């Protein structure tokens, strides 16, 4: 759920890192490096589904 939120808002806030920083300030800690592997899993899954 956090990864979807980050993906949806990263362009608005200038990237993944600023979004993760704000989330961490509000006790929703997530490392920027977490977003990339999850997105890659989604891309690979989408390729196999089509």
Identify the residue whose tokens are 């800690």.
29
Q: Provide the whole-model pTM.
A: 0.58
Write down the pLDDT at residue 37.
54
Please tell me which residue, 40 or 25, carries the higher pLDDT value. Answer: 25
Average confidence (pLDDT) over 33-37: 63
DSSP code at position 32:
H
Beta-carbon count within 10 A of 13 CB = 14
Lookup: tokens for 8:
């949806």
DSSP code at position 26:
T
Please tell me which residue, 6 or 44, carries the higher pLDDT value. Answer: 6
Domain hosting residue 34, numbered range = 2-49
pLDDT tens for 7-31 read 888 899 898 889 888 888 999 888 7
Domain total of the chain: 1
């Amino acid at each position: 759920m956090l990864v979807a939120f980050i993906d949806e808002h990263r362009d608005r806030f200038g990237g993944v890192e600023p979004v993760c920083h704000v989330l961490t300030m509000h006790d929703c800690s997530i490392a920027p490096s977490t977003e990339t592997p999850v997105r890659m899993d989604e891309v690979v899954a989408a390729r196999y589904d089509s």
